[in-house]
Amino acid sequence: MDRREFLRKAGIGAAGVAGATLLAACDDGTGAQATTGDTDLDEALTASDLPEVSWRLAASWPTNLDTIFGGATTFADRVRAMTGGKFDIDARAAGELVPALEILQSVQSGAVECGHTASYYYTGLAEWVAFGTAVPFGLTARQQNGWWYYGGGEELMQGLYADNFNAIQFLAGNTGTQMGGWFNVEIQSLADLQGLRMRIPGLGGRVMERLGVTVQQIAGGEIFQSLQTGAIDAAEWVGPYDDTILEFQTVTDFYYYPGWWEPGPSLEVQIGMDHWNDLPEEYQEVVRTAAAQANVDMMASYDHKNPVAFQELLDGGDVEVLPFPDDVMQAAEEEAFALYDENASGDPDFQSVLDSWKPYRDAVNSWFKIAEAGMINYEPQV
């Protein structure tokens, strides 16, 4: 379906469902429902006959991370509002329904109807899933949206999810370019990564392994204790706002940038295909629209909160904020693209995603280097 046509239809579906309760009350006393005179809208407004549906949503996030968990609650709240409460989704925090890093498996098995998570947590199942969130030296948030909504990413990734996991997914959040993480040792050169124990997921973790790092996958709610006890030497999470909520600044000395493995990580709502297919078309359109709202809202919220939190970190003076050395950045980029080529050579699904993603990345970066970087790098005189 053409994207503009989809958005038009989604808007009609959402408006129709939201207005159904009102029109159901506006009959002439004989049970005949009022009409608007608009054929498309009148058809959508038959939603007064739609069923009541209750789902559970398992998230990968604790509730104290209000912005990232907010993606799950925004999605659920919008679905509920647009259906007049008929479609209720109960968003639950990490561990309440299923373990934080087992959302996709739980959706696939039917243990829960849907989840809110990051696809790169599941590279152990299939490494191509990482492109749904972020891969090293990949796309920024805006670029990711461009590839997903207009560059063929959505159709490609949804097809692979259906074939491999009997599930469908929709973008439902983005954190923007992340920081490079919290370290208890200073990284002055590539050699300092040798033997370092670091919490980092996805293909970023695979690249770090190739650079000599011992990689661990740890859920967000467990990172602080692992740093505090010395079980790990470093950890990446999101950015200043979330990171300071988890108080990483109290147990580490160095805060590195940029998070080259997550230039624009998307979060997603994952839904079991059987549950998706059971939904009326009007509810499917509401789900699409609610996920898109969560996608926009989370990014805007982080852009509002991170600058304040970052300035507070700088003013505190207890943590040294440093860039990764050039040799680390260069070696990481080389290893990342070597890894992509290796994965593609043995996995047709990975190859199909890479064939779509890489030309898009090359083209969009050429444009952003001129327009976006030119504006950001200009030093204001006023």
The domains of the chain, with CATH numbers, are: 3-176+264-304 (3.40.190.170), 181-263+306-344 (3.40.190.10)
Average pLDDT over residues 210-237: 95
Q: How many residues are listed for the chain in this entry?
A: 382
pLDDT of 271-319, one tens digit each? 999 999 999 999 999 999 999 999 999 999 999 999 999 999 999 989 9
> Residue 258 is encoded by which pair of tokens?
């940029």
pLDDT at position 36 is 39
pLDDT at position 82 is 98
pLDDT of 8 over the 80 cut: no
Parallel, antiparallel or unpaired: strands 167-174 and 266-272: antiparallel
CA distance 91 to 97: 10
Confidence of residue 246 (pLDDT cuts 50, 70, 90): very high
Confidence of residue 37 (pLDDT cuts 50, 70, 90): low
Share of the chain above pLDDT 70, in %: 87
pLDDT of 207 over the 70 cut: yes
**What integer best gives the mean pLDDT of the chain?**
90
**246 contacts: CB under 8 Å, gap ≥ 6:** 64, 65, 220, 223, 224, 237
**113 contacts: CB under 8 Å, gap ≥ 6:** 55, 56, 57, 107, 271, 272, 275
> Residue 170 is encoded by which pair of tokens?
């929709």
pLDDT at position 361 is 98
pLDDT at position 382 is 87
> Residue 61 is encoded by which pair of tokens?
């996030």
pLDDT at position 17 is 41
Model confidence, pTM: 0.86
